[in-house]
Amino acid sequence: MSTVAAGDHHDHPESPYSIKRWLFTTNHKDIGTLYLWFSFIMFLIGGVMALVIRTELFQPGLQFVDPQFFNSMTTMHAIMMIFGVVMPAFTGLANWLIPMMIGAPDMALPRMNNWSFWILPFAFAMMLSTLFMDGGGPAGGWTLYPPLTLQTGDALPFVILSMHFMGLSSIMGAINVVATVLNMRAPGMTLMKMPLFVWTWLITAYLLIAVMPVLAGGITMLLTDKYFGTSFFNAAGGGDPVMFQHIFWFFGHPEVYILILPSFGVVSSIIPTFARKPLFGYASMVYATGAIAFLSFIVWAHHMFTVGMPLAGELFFMFATMLIAVPTGVKVFNWIATMWRGSMTFETPMLFALGFIVMFSIGGFSGLMLALAPVDFQYHDTYFVVAHFHYVLVPGSIFAIIAAVYYWLPKWCGNMYSEGLGKTHFWLSTIFVNLTFFPMHFVGLAGMPRRIPDYALQFSDYNMMATIGAFGFGLSQLLFLVLVIKAIRSGNKATSQVWEDAEGLEWTLPSPAPYHSFSTPPAIK
């Protein structure tokens, strides 16, 4: 009756067209697939919101949307992209890859795994439904600062409760990863033999477990301040609106590393394969990831340099923030040392990984500039910040996710994708992503605040460029969709090895990978 993973009878998935298979599945690959498709759909939704923003900003003056709706688009765009795109995409990758990489039959807690996923469509439906409510969707920015956020209409409790729901999903997903990594490794797979993707995800999972509940606490306080007369963020009652910012960023800063650490893992897998040379400095990569995660807990107030913190606080957070450049630099240098005197080829995943290194670093450099507290007084809440975080998030996280899809797609569906289309996708994306976000540095420095639907005339040229870039970048992603569908339906059969010199247990399985990964634990060399 019951399925036992290991070399048992009942091992065949139901037909892919059976709705029950997808609703009830406990299989890590099915769940990974669900996560990845969900993430892509959210990317289209969040991207369309970005296009609304960019369209309004194409020229000075109000043309298309009401300012309130504009703010609501900004807010929703960020929430969709962060909670609906990048986090689920990484969880999808974790589901697909971690069991295969550590030689496990499945994730440690398969039923809970299903729930982690199936919360998301409900939570995001709740979130999106607020756009149609009295008073519109949330429009106080994704940072939800009170008192502004408390001015939200009927949408407020839906926003907050749906974020609790998403948090529940992330925490369960993270717990599952931790349990899987700590408990499901094949004999001989010591911690220091794990692929870096597994390491970075393990550390990410700890970050998630530590900070998602803090966000939950913070937004609960918003809810009680609004509906139950508490005074957390009300000075008259002895509270402080800035207190919310501390709580939010205690979550929010580690959150941005949640959005990047698995990318580091992906890049650390791809570079050695196409450089045909082992990863340089494996151990220091692991320690650097740990250091970044540790530091991420003590830098949060660099988002708050202008709120009027005492001098000592400013200085502490400035120094701590600057320190993060050190372990991050170690990673970048290690990747380059991996390529050094390798024998490189440039298939699409490698291109995206190389693009990642360069453009993520550019985003990191502007991050370092932001960390200088006195200068941040000029940068803060301008498009310079917007440029910074889109560089680390779009050609950072999103590129890494795309690279991962190219790299492992043949393993997932058994077919090679079209290299020609892939390379076109890379070059179009790279050109347009820079056209979109590079000019934002200029307008930001020249003084354009973020979160505004209309701007002074001296910002118009670069905004026009950015808007053109955004449409170009968006359209290029349709190419990606076409390519993935084509690869799933047809294409050259992939070998089990797929890439000439790829290392790792997942490449010992046939392509497409069997429904259950390792029925019997593989031997680790």
Partner 1 sequence: MAQAENSYYVPHGSHWPIFGSVAVCTLLVGMANYLNGTSWGGNMALVGFGLLVIMLFGWFGTVVKESRAGLYNTQVDVSFRWGMFWFIFSEVMFFAAFFGALFYARNYSLPWLSGEGSGAMTNMFLYEGFEASWPSAANGPGNVGGEYKPMGAWGLPAINTALLLSSGVTLTWAHHALKAGHRAQLIIGLFLTVALGAIFMACQVLEYKEAYEHYGLTLGSGIYGTTFFMLTGFHGFHVTIGAIILAVILFRCMSGHFSSDNHFGFEAAAWYWHFVDVVWLGLFVFVYLV
Partner 2 sequence: MFAIKRLNAWLGLAFISVVSGSAFAGQPMNMTPGVTDISAEVYDMHMIAFWLCVVIAVVVFGAMFYSIFAHRKSRGVTPATFHESTTIEAIWTIIPFVVLIALSIPATKTLIDMYDTSDYDLTVKITGYQWLWHYEYVEDGVDFHSKLQTSISQINNDEEKGENYLLEVDNELVIPVGKKVRFLITSNDVIHAWWVPDLAVKKDAVPGFINEAWARVNEPGIYRGQCAELCGRHHGFMPVVVRAVPEAEYRQWVAANAKPESATEYAVVSQ
For 276, list phi and psi in degrees, rounded to 5.
55, 45
Q: Is residue 31 a contact partner of residue 93, using CB atoms and an 8 Å limit?
A: no
DSSP class of 342: -
Interface with ligand HEA (CB under 6 A), residue total 62
Is 164 catalytic? The answer is no
77 is catalytic: yes
- Letter string b/e over residues 428-460, b meaning 16 or more CB atoms within 10 A of that residue's CB: bbbebbbbbbbbbbbbbeeebebebbebeeebb
Does position 470 bind ligand HEA by CB under 6 A? yes
Nearer to partner 2, 140 or 262 (CB): 140
Q: Does 419 bind partner 2 (CB under 8 A)?
A: no
From the list partner 2, partner 1, Cu ion, none, which binds 451 (C-beta under 5 to 8 Å, kind-based)?
partner 2
DSSP state of 490: S
Residue of 518, 426, 395, 463 whose CA lies nearest to 5 = 518
Give residue 421's Cα distance to chain centre. 24
**Helix, strand, or coil (residue 308):** coil
Q: Of 28, 29, 54, 77, which residue is the catalytic one?
A: 77
CA–CA distance, 380 with 181 (Å, rounded to integer): 39
Residues 223-262 that bind Cu ion (CB under 5 A): 253
For partner 1, what does the binding mask look like between residues 95 and 134, x meaning CB under 8 A?
Answer: ---------xxx-xxxxx-xx--xx-xxx-xx--------
Residue 337 token pair = 């040392």
119 binds ligand HEA (CB under 6 A): no
* Residue 29 binds: one of Cu ion, ligand HEA, partner 1, none (C-beta under 5 to 8 A by kind): none
Question: Nearer to partner 2 by C-beta: 414 or 439?
Answer: 439
Closest CA to 252 of 306, 303, 293: 303
- Annotate each residue in 386-405 with x if it binds ligand HEA (CB under 6 A) or - if it does not, as one string: x-xxx-xxx-xxx-------
Q: Which of 331, 380, 390, 425 is catalytic?
A: 331
Q: Say which entry of Cu ion, ligand HEA, partner 2, none residue 398 contacts (CB below 5 to 8 A, set by partner kind).
A: ligand HEA
446-475 binders of partner 2 (CB under 8 A) = 446-447, 449, 451-462, 465
Cα distance between residue 147 and residue 225, in whole Å: 10
Residues 229 to 268 in contact with ligand HEA, rule: CB under 6 A: 256, 259-260
Select from 70-78, 111-119, 163-171, 204-212 the region that touches ligand HEA (CB under 6 A): 70-78
| Cα-based distances in Å from 89 to 69, 79, 86, 245, 358 | 28, 14, 5, 27, 22
Q: Which residues are catalytic?
A: 77, 106, 142, 169-170, 253, 255, 257, 268, 302-303, 328, 331, 450
Applying CB under 5 A, which residues contact Cu ion? 253
